[in-house]
Amino acid sequence: MFYRAFSSRDCQPSDLALFRRTIVDLRALLLEQDVIYVGGGNTANMLAVWRTHGVDRILREAWDKGIVLAGISAGAICWFEASVTDSFGLDLTGLRDGLGLLSGSACPHYNSEERRRPVYRQLVGSGFPPGYAIDDHVGLHFVDGELAEVVCDAEGRSAYAVKLEGMAVRERPLTPRSLS
């Protein structure tokens, strides 16, 4: 699907497979990209494999070099310090060892999985880093580590800044710009 989506555009898509690795110089491959896009999956496993192969350090270099880093689901939350994940089974839990390129935490699928909202709110209320809850079809655009814009491609979707204020967890809606 990735190649079908991008091969017809003015770009040269490539992918990095780490289980059946054919690329010797990961650093050269990643640092020659204009955009690095990460799909969804198991966040904890992805981070562990990246760390084993040194991809985490190369992604930090890519970030410092100004290469656009993007993704959905696990590929969106991996850039944060912490996130809400289902990486460890059916229960959602907090993961505190993301790449840390973006401060705070993130929770994807906020509108589509009924347990996301209560689990994220409980985590933030218990000292988990504040951050962003993201509905499906919504993207957060960061520039220099700061949220610059929220965009969406579906009606009625949003994102939220979630933080502990006093003894209460507060969600502040972040109005997206429609891309449709």
Q: Which residue in 83, 87, 105, 109 is the catalytic one? A: 109
For residue 8, is pLDDT > 80? no
The CATH classification of domain 2-178, taken from the options 3.10.150.10, 3.40.50.2300, 3.40.600.10, 3.40.50.880 = 3.40.50.880
Read off the pLDDT band of 28 (50, 70, 90).
very high
Q: Would you state the pLDDT for residue 164?
A: 98
Q: Which residue has the higher pLDDT, 10 or 150?
A: 150
Kindly report, residue by residue over 71-99, the tens digit of the pLDDT. 999 999 999 999 999 999 989 999 999 99
- CA 8 from chain centre, in angstroms, equals 26
Are 141 and 115 in contact, with CB atoms under 8 Å apart? no
Say whether 109 is catalytic.
yes
Q: Which residue in 73, 83, 87, 105 is the catalytic one? A: 73
User: Which residue, chain included where needed, has tokens 């504040």?
Assistant: 130
Q: Would you state the pLDDT for residue 147?
A: 98
Which residues touch 10 (CB under 8 Å, ≥6 apart)?
none
Q: What are the sequence ranges of the domains in the chain? A: 2-178
Residue 34: which region, alpha, beta or left (left: phi > 0; alpha: psi -120 to 50)? Answer: alpha
